[in-house]
Amino acid sequence: MTLFGATRTPRNIVFGAGQRKALPQFAARAGRRALVVTDERLAADRDFRDLIDAVGAAGVETRIFTGVIAELPVECIAAGVEAGKAFGADSVIGIGGGSCLDAAKAISLLLAHGGATADYYGEFKVPGPILPLISLPTTSGTGSEVTPVAVLTDPDRALKIGIASPYLISETAICDPELTYSCPPSLTAVSGADALTHAIEAFTTARREPSAGLVHEHVFLGKNAFSDHYALLAIEHIGASLRQAVENGNDHVARERLMFGAMAAGLAFGTAGTAAAHAVQYPVGAMTHTPHGTGVALMMPYVMQINRDWCAPELGEIGRALGVSMPDGPVELAADATIDAVADLLRAIGIPSSLKELGVTRGQLPTVCEQSLGIARLIKNNPRPLDVSSMDLLVAAAFSGDRASLVTAADKRKAS
């Protein structure tokens, strides 16, 4: 196998308990007037106020915008841009969950280039550098602090929409696991399951012919040597910590490993991309108003199953990184053991195991199929090429919680 790899990362990534206190000096390097983008929950936090005061003491004036709403409706981005303009911001600090970090990205973009959010939907629409951006996540989940994408909700669109560009990357990511200590078990589970899904989808995503144009034609350019490294690193840390962090939020070692894994998963999918589990979540999330992490994680074992014969060796490697004891024999057995282990882990942390449980109705399934297949930038990454009949099969199995129906279908296809 020839080695091909690409990374697109922040200029600085700092990880460690207490490292949020490195923020003031980074902020002073980034500008003199920083717009801080967060939500009301964090803005009311004493430790947060102290941190922003320390930025002020380093000679950087700050204005705090607290208007971020979870899942990111575009109106709150427009309000953040107005606040940034009125203040004359020359830099942006995003602090919070993925919604706050994505808001900070979009606000940095619009402050630098003007126009409306919709002007930049899709890939490669950002014309140049955004305002210097520093991101501090408070969940172990999206990896947004290191990725080149922001995901938002536009009332004019049925589904959530992304802005993806190599310019949409933070200048500095500061990952301090202490910021996640306040995450309740359900948020830890849902955001951590999102991170695990990022790593699994990045590691199993389709590999593309490494032509010279590849990095210029795709923001998410498929499985490669760097993304593989980060994906396995992520799976190892998340596998050793997700359940522990959900069950005992005071387990600081688990909190630390989970955040390290989520950041590594962001580095993996930030170039490789995600695939069918993320594609199906878009319509499912819009129909059921359930969090992103719940939907992608619910779909993950079904997607692994339908893809099994297209990526069995990779699934085996994922199992080994998770610490699953592997059966002897054909690689398909190792792949099956991995899928079972992932399904067990997700069940143990409370992720629902069928679309029915999530509130999808049988009558909505054709729409789920059609809209999922319509998200070409994700579907094209799936290791098994997906058409209407395979998507029908996938969604029907996930609806009724019947993963075994996919085993039979895959085996039959292999035998024929």
Ligand X SMILES: NC(=O)c1ccc[n+]([C@@H]2O[C@H](COP(=O)([O-])OP(=O)(O)OC[C@H]3O[C@@H](n4cnc5c(N)ncnc54)[C@H](O)[C@@H]3O)[C@@H](O)[C@H]2O)c1
Task: Find the shortest distance in angstroms from Cβ 246 to ligand X.
Answer: 14
Instruction: Name the residue nearer to ligand X (CB basis): 269 or 399.
Output: 269
Question: How wide is the angle at C-alpha 7 spanned by C-alphas 3 and 10, nearest 5°?
Answer: 160
DSSP 48-89: HHHHHHHHHHTT-EEEEE-B--TT-BHHHHHHHHHHHHHHT-
Instruction: Name the residue nearer to ligand X (CB basis): 132 or 293.
Output: 293
**Quick one: what does residue 99 bind among Fe ion, ligand X, none, with the CB cut-off 5 to 8 Å set by partner type?**
ligand X
* 3-state SS assignment for residue 90: coil
The sign of the dihedral angle between the CA atoms of 392, 398, 404, 406 is positive
Binding site for Fe ion (CB under 5 A): 194
Instruction: Name the residue nearer to ligand X (CB basis): 123 or 194.
Output: 194
Binding site for ligand X (CB under 6 A): 39, 41, 70-72, 96-100, 102, 138-139, 141-144, 147, 149-151, 160, 179-180, 182-183, 187, 191, 194, 292-293
Instruction: Name the residue nearer to ligand X (CB basis): 20 or 308.
Output: 20
Whether residue 140 contacts residue 189, with contact meaning beta carbons closer than 8 Å, is answered with: no
Task: Find the shortest distance in angstroms from Cβ 404 to ligand X.
Answer: 30
* One-letter amino acid of 194: D
**Quick one: what does residue 144 bind among Fe ion, ligand X, none, with the CB cut-off 5 to 8 Å set by partner type?**
ligand X
Whether residue 174 contacts residue 136, with contact meaning beta carbons closer than 8 Å, is answered with: yes
* CA distances, 215 to each of 4, 67, 271 (Å): 11, 35, 9
* 3-state SS assignment for residue 282: helix
Task: Find the shortest distance in angstroms from Cβ 345 to Fe ion.
Answer: 17
**Quick one: what does residue 138 bind among Fe ion, ligand X, none, with the CB cut-off 5 to 8 Å set by partner type?**
ligand X
Task: Find the shortest distance in angstroms from Cβ 336 to ligand X.
Answer: 28
Task: Find the shortest distance in angstroms from Cβ 229 to Fe ion.
Answer: 20
Instruction: Name the residue nearer to ligand X (CB basis): 13 or 409.
Output: 13
Task: Find the shortest distance in angstroms from Cβ 231 to ligand X.
Answer: 15
Instruction: Name the residue nearer to ligand X (CB basis): 129 or 185.
Output: 185
Radius of gyration of the chain measured on its C-alpha atoms: 21
In sequence order, which residues have a C-beta less than 8 Å from that of residue 65 and are 6 or more positions away?
Answer: 35, 36, 37, 38, 79, 80, 83, 84, 107
- Which residue's Cβ has the minimum distance to ligand X? 97
